[in-house]
Amino acid sequence: MSNIAIIPAGGKGLRSGLATPKQYLKIKGKEIIVYTLQTFQRNKYISKIIIAAEPEYFSLLTRLMTKYKLSKVKLIVEGGVTRQQSVFNAVLSSEAANDDLLVVHDAARALLPDYVLTNAIQLANKKGNALVCIKAKDTLMRGNNTVINYLNRDEVYYIQTPQIFKFKDLYKALVKAEKEKYLGTDESMLVKRIGKKVHIAAGSVLNFKITTSEDVELFKKIVN
């Protein structure tokens, strides 16, 4: 059984307010996506990496693969209009067997600790899937300019990536979503819709998604 990493990297980075998509920003002389890819390159359980990206970045990614010896990157596929389409394109190109694990991870989560990745893969090997999350520590509420109600934080998690599923389950979930024109914000949402129980793996506060200019500044401070 293989563990295949899928890295959707097609985002435009509009929320960061920067001209360059955040996954291609250089921090300490290295693109953010390289930090992400190196984690998967080093992890002993990952056999192959597939990147879904905008075609205009294919040549840059190819150069980075050579420069940083990212030998596990076997394929770069065209990203879709949405993250869901990007992941689907990568899944369709993966040549995975039914029980192979697909490890989907955001390109802009560049500080994923190796132990979080390893533990999630081990859980998915045992249970069939794994969703990396961290428990909420803050008081949470629903609101719209004013407070509507408060949520029980003991039952609330912040969802991260990687999200790990067997090929057969993720493929089935993506096909169902496409057929029903359902757009989810992550893979776990789609897999839950086909009736699968999704298992929670412990995440890390370091595994934050670089989305805004503030996140970029925080990332700089950590790597410096």
Give the chain's end-to-end CA distance (angstroms, integer): 38
pLDDT of residue 1: 85
pLDDT of residue 18: 65
Please provide residue 90's backbone torsions phi and psi, each rounded to the nearest 5 degrees.
-70, -40
pLDDT of residue 63: 98
CA distance linking residue 90 with residue 154, whole number of Å: 35
pLDDT of residue 20: 85
106-137: burial string, b at 16+ Cβ within 10 Å, e else: bbbbbbbeeebbebbbebbeeebbbbbbbeee
Q: Centre a 10 Å sphere on the Cβ of residue 80 and count the other Cβ atoms it contains.
A: 16
Token pair in block for residue 6: 């899928």
Task: Give pLDDT < 70 ranges for the chain.
Answer: 11-18
pLDDT of residue 69: 98
Q: How many domains does the chain have?
A: 1
The CATH number of the domain holding residue 218 is: 3.90.550.10
pLDDT of residue 11: 65
Q: Give the domain range for residue 154.
A: 3-223
pLDDT of residue 19: 74
CA distance linking residue 67 with residue 29, whole number of Å: 12
Q: pLDDT tens, 123-169?
A: 999 999 999 999 999 999 999 999 999 999 999 999 999 999 999 99
Strands 157-166 and 129-135: antiparallel
pLDDT of residue 15: 52
